[in-house]
Amino acid sequence: MTSIAANLQAVASRIAAACSAAGRNPAEVSLLAVSKTWPAACVREAAGCGQRAFGENYVQEGVAKISELADLGLEWHFIGPLQSNKTRPVAEHFAWVHSIERLKIAERLSAQRPAGLAPLQVCIQVNVSGEESKSGCAPAEAPALAAAVAALPNLRLRGLMAIPEPTDDGALQHRRFAALRELLAELNRQGLALDTLSMGMSDDMEAAIAEGATLVRVGTAIFGTRNYAA
Ligand SMILES: *Cc1c(COP(=O)(O)O)cnc(C)c1O
């Protein structure tokens, strides 16, 4: 068995164990394999093991892999920071965007989503770490942003995403993820119908699953340590 195959099995076991500890059904938690910096061949290998959903952070790199692997019919998620001059290729090539933090970006994605494609599935990225983090909208801004995004014609708002600051403090991990879960519940009480909590990565997926993650974004534990210099 290749290391990607073994790593995918190990991640599936971690998800299953975390679900079991939390009394959750593993079918409620989907795995997004984060393939940024890894060549298309690694994605093809993971796809050969049955993995269907992949996450990319950089527009050019992601679009190149999407075209190279078009024969596989994979589901591609954009999870990185998105500048307004890069929205068009994302609207044209990805199925999901997790990193909406401003209305202007959402408006451009909706306007640029090609007719004939399904609506772009989106999450609003929320900064649950205060001054420890720069990305994501402030929690207090999320209700208004969510209402505005939900009204855009070619997007479908699915939920919230967060990247808490890295920490070994398990209680802090739980607090950050719980804050996102509570915010999603508040938005649903206000009339939205959101089903996605995109939270948890290689180092903190157990805490995220315990707090209600429905999608974990995992890179290192599947593909290995990234080399950004490459
Ligand atoms: C890189 C990245 C991940 C994966 O992180 P790992 O620690 O490698 O699992 C998840 N989410 C986002 C937004 C990322 O940029």
Residue-wise pLDDT tens digits, 73-91: 999 999 999 999 999 999 9
Q: Which CATH number characterizes residue 184's domain?
A: 3.20.20.10
pLDDT the model gives residue 229: 61
Range of the domain at 131: 3-223
Judge if pTM exceeds 0.95: yes
pLDDT the model gives residue 13: 98
Is 158 domain-assigned? Answer: yes
Is 114 domain-assigned? Answer: yes
Average pLDDT over residues 215-221: 98
The pLDDT mean for the chain works out to 97
Mutate which of 34, 126, 128 for ligand 1? The one with the most ligand atoms within 8 Å of its CB, which is 34
How much distance in Å is there from the Cα of 80 to the middle of ligand 1? 9
Q: Which of 171, 149, 155, 162 is nearest to 213 (CA)?
A: 162
- The CB of 220 under 6 Å from ligand 1? The reply is yes
Which atom, in ligand 1's list, is nearest to the CA of 98?
Answer: 13
Is 86 domain-assigned? Answer: yes
Question: Is pLDDT above 90 for 137?
Answer: yes
Mutate which of 56, 79, 99, 177 for ligand 1? The one with the most ligand atoms within 8 Å of its CB, which is 79
Which atom, in ligand 1's list, is nearest to the CA of 221?
Answer: 9
Is 230 domain-assigned? Answer: no
Is 228 domain-assigned? Answer: no
Task: Check: CB of residue 47 under 8 Å from CB of residue 31.
Answer: no
- C-beta contacts of 142-145 below 8 A and 24+ residues apart: 142/183, 142/187, 143/186, 143/187, 143/190, 145/100, 145/101, 145/102, 145/103
CB-based burial label for 7 (10 Å; 0-12, 13-18, 19+)? buried
Is 37 domain-assigned? Answer: yes
Domain count, the chain: 1
Is 103 domain-assigned? Answer: yes
Classify 205 as helix, strand or coil. Answer: helix
Is 229 domain-assigned? Answer: no
Question: Is pLDDT above 70 for 58?
Answer: yes
Residue-wise pLDDT tens digits, 9-53: 999 999 999 999 999 999 999 999 999 999 999 999 999 999 999
